Structure 1
Amino acid sequence: MENVKLNDSYGNRGRELHEPVTEEAIRALLSQAHKEGLHVAVESGGTKRGYGGANEGYDWTLSLKKYRGIVEHNAGDMTITVKPGTTIAELQRFLQEYGQQVSLDPHWPEQATIGGVISANESGPKRLAYGSARDLVIGLRVVYPDGRIIRTGGKVVKNVAGYDMNKLFIGAMGTLGVISEITMKLRPAPKYRSLVQVSVPEGEEEELRMLAVAIQDAMIEPVTLEIVNPAMAEKLTGKWEYMLLVAFEDVERSVHEQEGWMTHHNPEHAGMEVLHEEEAGKFWERFAVTVPNAHTEDEDLCAVLKAGTKNMDVFTMVTRAGELGNNHGIHVEAHGGLGHGISECILRGQEIDVTAVIEGLRAEAGQIGGYVVIKHLPVELRKKMDAWGRKPGHFSLLEGIKKTVDPHDVCNLQRYIGGI
């Protein structure tokens, strides 16, 4: 163990750092913490320290970044079992020689670990076609807060018997124990990929909304349908325009046929550019590192928000974020999936203005039946603003599960909704 700084700018750290390299070491640490009444901050790569509660009173940090590697890969069954500290990039590089992939595209794949992605149920623009982390996991090994080890699910895709216990731990922010193994289903790597960028000037963005509706009514099958506001488009492409990102992954002939549909239906006042293969890949690499995390540095106060709404209400959230940013004089980069309903906003500016925009977006989301959570914010400001917003109607169920599994609040105390 080693001493670590208790009050860094993002919190969610303990006074002592532990970096176990075996499951038995994890079990022993949690068992000791349970017996001694200690509170443990659990993390994998540490990129999400700005996500969740504002508790700075942890005794230990249990980091899984050294507990990494492939446990088992069944290429024929298209499944893989890995340790939680393994990064997304490591996984994809390993699977590349088998022509397979994990269908997840979270931010910062070189830093983001599969354990953190699973614990936060993270996803990216390709969620439209491939789903989120919750849709890929078929089995877990979990070390409970008292040191007991359980297995949920199985190691084969056709595992349908009984209640799906996996879903208790996916998205629970590490509050129910430490995930020590993850078994996921895989997909074949695409034979060919492209990205169609359709852009319009500010004031003409309704044309992109109509195009998005037409795409969803058509027979084409994009893997992304992402709307990007002008600030983010400029950062990615140098163009200050609203942009629709429509990606295709399939055999080459199918991809080109779908590009043809896009060309035929391109709005009258819209520009279009098509990126193929390596160019498309490089674009998504740039996209993946646009969002700050606890390892990046920013001169301004920076907040990252995640909004969930009905799919086409994403358009409202992305445009409204820009309007609020202009009203309060802060820089806002925003994007969202018009097929899956998840939006993301990056806010940079002064505290009073960032706070006002967060409150404005939460009010907007509330009016249309959605929500906004704070994914990244310094701890001092998270003390003033609840990262999760209002409690959901099923909060009592979440609270009951936490009390049953972790009655002594060993793991990630107050890291989740309502201070769980």
Structure 2
Amino acid sequence: MVVSDFITELKTKLPEVKIEAGYLHTSHLGNNGQAVVFPKSEQEIAEVLKFANRHGKKVNVMGNGTKRGFGGLVETADLLLCLAEYKGIVEHIVGDMTLTVMAGTPFKELQTYLAKFNQQISLDPSNPEYATIGGIIAANDSGPKRLGYGAARDVIIGLRMVYPDGTIIRSGGKVVKNVAGYDMNKLYIGSMGTLGVISEITVKLRPLPKYESVIVLSFLEGDLEEARSFVRKLLDSMMEPVALELINPTLSERLIGERLYSVAVSFEDLESSVLYQQEFVKSILPRNAKVKILQQDKAESFWNEFYSISPNGVGSEEKEQIEAALKIGVVNMDVFSVIRESHLLEDSHNVLVESNGGLGHGLCQINLKGSSDDILSAIDHVRKIAVRLGGYAVVKHLPYALRKQVKVWGEEPAHFFLLEAIKANVDPNRILNDKRFVGGI
């Protein structure tokens, strides 16, 4: 069956489902579809997948498209399943502090709604205005506050998934104290939609903090040894920052106007607790550090700017300069080496580098901007740094044409055979987000 006939038959079978021509949504980032389907219910998602699976047609999946440049070696599949219109709150139990929501709901909308109840989802992904909760979970996205908040696996209570054959399953539950069986949620978090389409997510909530502050220390003459000494003292103390982030000079200049290596320390709690921890930080300040303290609204503005810096696939027309983003994982204090050496790429590789790294969890983000050749060379250099330190580097954003020239996920891990076996069992026809994940899964 040719694609045009397949789409015609799909429209006949599902007349209520909106289907548009793929060229209306084509992106240079790839992960496109010859036709775009906009389901509005879980059953419609199941029917589309069942129909595609029966006819052996490939399906790409997206929410609003922020992660369209993350993985994927198939430029255009038969269908692009877009969940942008599959959104809304299914259930919010205020007293139990749990929320069940449809996967296509933008994260910012959820946080705005929950703020009315003094509650929040304890995640801080990039581009929250556009990123959908389903995409965040599928990509296992998190930000600097992972130090205090934890990752998606610490927030998710239960998931509903639509398998490639249209089967709807549930993993986990809807209550916080759920201990029945294996925690299958972890299988799907970060799987890039290769095992099933996340249709519904249940999360545990936490109260909004009463008070928030960000202390930014900028180190004169790039003295990272002073910064390292300060961080050790803070981590060895009883203080509980929700974020402890090293920022390179280029990003620091953008955020606070200081072209210096900086460390951002964020506290959230009762006002008295935050102020007490601020005083402790002041007591261990390095002699030559510049200090800025941002309280409440200014702290929120700082993080809002921070979350908007990563390149994403929303409205991303092809630009003269290539944008790329990498996620690097290393041992906590090796973040200093990653951020320092990545910053040196500005001179050695003629690229713009905005980078930051979590000194409590070891995850770094490096955003690059430059020509194709310089970007590819810089990615290779960063990956060698990460491997030398015993870590890893994953390319989170890159145009399709360049993704074909690099290993987005790096080398296949030792447990790759397990990933292959799971994919073969769940999606034997390999219709769902084909070649989007590790090793071309």
Q: Using structure 1 for the length normalisation, give the TM-score.
A: 0.98
Deviation at 1:201, TM superposition (A): 2.6
Q: CA 1:413–1:255 in 2, change beyond 3 Å: closer, same or farther? A: same
1-side partners of 2:155 and 2:307: how far apart? 20
Paired residue for 1:34? 53
Taking the TM superposition and a 5 Å limit, the aligned residue runs for 1:19-418 are 19-295=38-314, 296=316, 298-418=319-439
Deviations along 1:132-179, one digit per CA (max 9) or x if unpaired, are 112110100101000000010000011112111111111000000111
SS in 2 for 1:312: helix
Q: Which amino acid aligns with 2:59?
A: V
* More off after superposition, 30-39 vs 350-359: 350-359
C-alpha distance in 2, partners of 1:130/1:322? 28
Does structure 2 conserve the Cα–Cα contact (< 8 Å) formed by 1:53 and 1:386? no
Instruction: Give the AA of the match of 1:332.
Output: V
Contact 1:230–1:242, Cα closer than 8 Å, also in 2: yes
- Taking only the aligned residue pairs, the percentage that are identical comes to 50
Q: Report the aligned-residue RMSD.
A: 1.0
Please report how far the alpha carbon of residue 387 of structure 1 lies from its aligned counterpart in structure 2 after TM superposition. Answer: 0.8
Give yes or no for contact 1:310–1:370 (8 Å, CA) kept in 2. Answer: yes
Instruction: Output the amino acid matched with 1:404.
Output: N
- Please give the alpha-carbon distance, in whole angstroms, between the structure 1 residues aligned to 2:196 and 2:298: 41
Distance in structure 1 (CA, Å) of the matches to 2:406 and 2:346: 18
Verify the 8 A CA contact 2:30 2:76 in the aligned structure 1.
no
Decide whether the 8 Å contact of 1:7 with 1:56 is kept in 2.
no
Correspondent of 1:4 among 17, 22, 25: 22
Consecutive unaligned residues in structure 1, runs of 5 or more = none
Q: TM-score, normalised by structure 2?
A: 0.94
Name stretches of at least 5 consecutive residues in structure 2 with no aligned partner.
Answer: 1-18
* CA-CA distance at 1:7 after TM superposition: 5.8
Taking the aligned partners of 1:133 and 1:299, their CA distance within structure 2 comes to: 35
* Structure 2: distance between partners of 1:299 and 1:159: 51
User: Which deviations, in whole Å up to 9, do the C-alpha atoms of 1:248-277 show, x marking residues without a partner?
Assistant: 000000100000001111100101111100
Provide the secondary structure at the position in 1 that maps to 2:332.
coil
Q: Is contact 1:325-1:357 (8 Å) kept?
A: no
SS state at 2:383 partner: helix
**SS of structure 1 residue aligned to 2:394:** strand
Q: C-alpha separation between the residues in 1 aligned to 2:320 and 2:157? A: 41
- Check whether the contact 1:4–1:16 (CA below 8 A) recurs between aligned residues: yes
Over 3 Å off, 4+ runs: 296-299
Contact 2:222 / 2:260 at 8 angstroms: preserved in 1? no
Report the count of equivalent residues. 420
Shift in Å at residue 357 of structure 1?
1.1
2:64 partner amino acid: G
